[in-house]
Amino acid sequence: MSTLLTIHDVPVFTCAPDGDVIRGEADALDLIGNAGYQGARWVVIPAERLDEEFFRLSSRVAGDIVQKFANYGMGLVVLGDITRHTEASSALRDFVRECNRGRQTWFLADTAELRERLGDGTTTA
């Protein structure tokens, strides 16, 4: 079950690790709508909930999903170990590094890292 948490005064919609696979824009829009209805500013998706195509940049799934979150002003966190994907793709590794420099989409290892990021006062989503 997904839950709404408040971390450093930031409402965060956290998806459960088990559940339907997020395959594309339609699934992203459902999450954005649900999170927005609950007042969230960020959505946390466990990496294992994302379809494998998300991690293959040439499929455009990641770009489409990230763009939907940006269009709706909702922050996106992919949470968990994606090492096997980044080791297999330098393009994905670069994408993750660039996202993590920004303030809208982050790829983070765990909730401790999320708490640290949200606590530094640089979030805008």
- Tens digit of each residue's pLDDT (9 = 90 or more) over 25-50: 999 999 999 999 999 999 999 999 99
Write down the pTM of the prediction: 0.93
Q: How do residues 63-108 score in pLDDT, each as one tens digit?
A: 999 999 999 999 999 999 999 999 999 999 999 999 999 999 999 9
User: Percentage helix, strand, coil, to 5, in the chain?
Assistant: 50, 20, 30
| CB neighbourhood size of 9 (10 A) | 8
Token pair, residue 52, equals 């494998």
Please state, as a whole number, how many other Cβ atoms lie within 10 Å of the Cβ of residue 70. Answer: 15
